[in-house]
Chain A
Amino acid sequence: MIPALGLLVGVVIGLLLHPTVPLWLQPYLPIAVIAALDAVFGGVRAVLDGFFNDKVFVVSFLSNVLVAAFIVFLGDQLGVGSQLSTGVVVVLGIRIFSNVAAIRRHLFKA
């Protein structure tokens, strides 16, 4: 409950502050957001499975964001940035969908 409130607070802060994203950060932002969402859904599923661990959550969140950003950076350097971004989105998307499916099974038993 409290983390969900925190999520909401973050959204509100973002909407109110409306910070301008520096140009060098812009290609990484969408990928980092998707990686963060993957970690969040993994965490929710772990809560429902009954073995949530805050340390693992934090580490998986940070590593997801960093690795995703690093892959995009590497892709930009190699000239295949858009392809690698697509790969990251596909992999993380699959993970998000199966985690959401597990959450759904927990919540609705269906």
Chain B
Amino acid sequence: MTATPRPDASMSLITELMERPLEPSYAAAADRRVDVGLPPATSTRSVTVVVIAVLVGFAVAVAALSLRSTSSVVGRARAQLIGQINGRQGVGDQLSVRIQALETEIAAIRASALAPSGQSALLAELKRLQVAAGSVAVTGPGLLVTLDDAASTNGSNADPRANSGFGDGRVTATDLQVVTNGLWAAGAEAISINGQRLTTHSAIRFAGQAILVDFRALARPYVVTAIGDTTAMQGAFGASTVGSYVKALTDNYGIPVTIEGSGSLTCPANSVPVLRYAEPLAPGSSAPTTSVPSSTAKPSPTSGTKKTGTTSKTTTATPKTSTGPAPAGGPARAEAIDP
């Protein structure tokens, strides 16, 4: 008998799988039992069968439970981490409130010590320097510059800005650096971005997709508050190269930038930076020493980054000394808010 080979003979594995899903040993065992004169099937009530049935049910239940519980374990760990983060942030907030309170106390004690001894000139100088250093909250007239990501941030990839991993219309840290430096140059006396007061130690930089100011991530829209002579700043800002830069941002990338003057703006205080200065090497001592006038001997993270300064993106928004706080020839607009 020469049977023509099946067309799917080469797929014997799949044929076997599809057509004979039952263990062939069942049929073989039945044949053997029929051969010795027994009925082909055995009872299903043997102990082993029941035991295995119990086992299978147990395994199914355990598998279902354990698979469900793993997801809840992950969720629990996540919730725990979120709770820890919130807790630590709460502790940090409490500590900064305490810092504020202590600084207020220090200021009051200092004022009471200086005022009676006829050193009000020193006190005024201190106030001016505090405004410049950003260690007190200030209020006054100024400019509000608001930058936001463009409405359509998924533009074409032909743009060079898109190649750096950012959408066409994303506000970059460089944009904020340019704007703040332009505002300093235009005569701003105090600047804060989204409530983060800029000091001489502030850095505006990228971390991934977020813009960091003083290691705090900002969320869009980016509101730059600059306190100073509103009309003079507006004119100087618009006429400078920064003005055309901002215009180019809007024209080329669709980034909405609004500049508006306001009669009363407030810049919050920033924590007092740790002052550090070099001391001449004393004759006889071998190691160079850095003196820290405050009791905190540990270098602050801000200055640590400034020292290493590896990436080109780490640019400090430093007020230019020539046009810095309290511009020459004009009365200071920023008024310190007495704590």
Contact = CB atoms under 8 A, between A and B. Distances in A.
Given A2-B45, A2-B50, A51 B40 contact: yes
Given A11-B57, A51-B30, A53-B29, A94 B40 contact: no
Contacts of A99: 21-22
A91 B44 CA distance: 26
B36 interface: no
A36 B62 contact: no
Nearest to A41: B21
A11 B60 contact: yes
A80 interface: no
B33 A29 contact: no
B57 A6 contact: yes
B277 to A, nearest CB: 56
Nearest to B28: A56
Interface stretch (B63-71, B83-91, B137-145): B63-71
Interface in B28-82: 29-30, 33, 40-46, 48-63, 65-67, 70
Given A33-B63, A46-B26, A7 B57 contact: yes
Specify which of B23, B51, B67 lies most central, judged by the most chain A CB atoms within 10 Å of its CB. B23
B143 to A, nearest CB: 58
Contact of A54 (B21, B42, B56, B58): B42
B242 to A, nearest CB: 54
Interface string A2-38: 1111111111111100111100001001101100110
Specify which of A12, A49, A57 lies most central, judged by the most chain B CB atoms within 10 Å of its CB. A57
A62 to B, nearest CB: 8
B163 interface: no
B106 interface: no
Contact of A18 (B43, B45, B65): B65
Contact of B44 (A8, A45, A54): A54
Interface of B: 17-18, 21-23, 25-27, 29-30, 33, 40-46, 48-63, 65-67, 70
Contacts of B29: 51, 53, 55-56
Interface of A: 2-15, 18-21, 26, 29-30, 32-33, 36-37, 40, 42-43, 45-47, 49-61, 91, 94-95, 98-99, 102
A56 B62 contact: no
A29 B40 contact: no
B188 to A, nearest CB: 58
Specify which of B46, B53, B67 lies most central, judged by the most chain A CB atoms within 10 Å of its CB. B53
The interface residues of chain A, by DSSP majority, are classed as: helix
Nearest to A64: B23
B48 A54 contact: yes
A102 B50 contact: no
Given A10-B53, A29-B59, A53-B29, A42 B65 contact: no
Given A42-B21, A59-B25, A60-B23, A53 B42 contact: yes
Given A29-B63, A99-B21, 8 more contacts: A7-B54, A8-B57, A10-B53, A11-B57, A37-B56, A49-B22, A58-B48, A102-B21
A7 B42 CA distance: 19
B286 to A, nearest CB: 56
Contacts of A53: 25-26, 29-30, 33, 41-42
B53 A6 contact: yes
A20 B53 CA distance: 21
A33 B22 contact: no
A57 B58 contact: no
A5 to B, nearest CB: 8
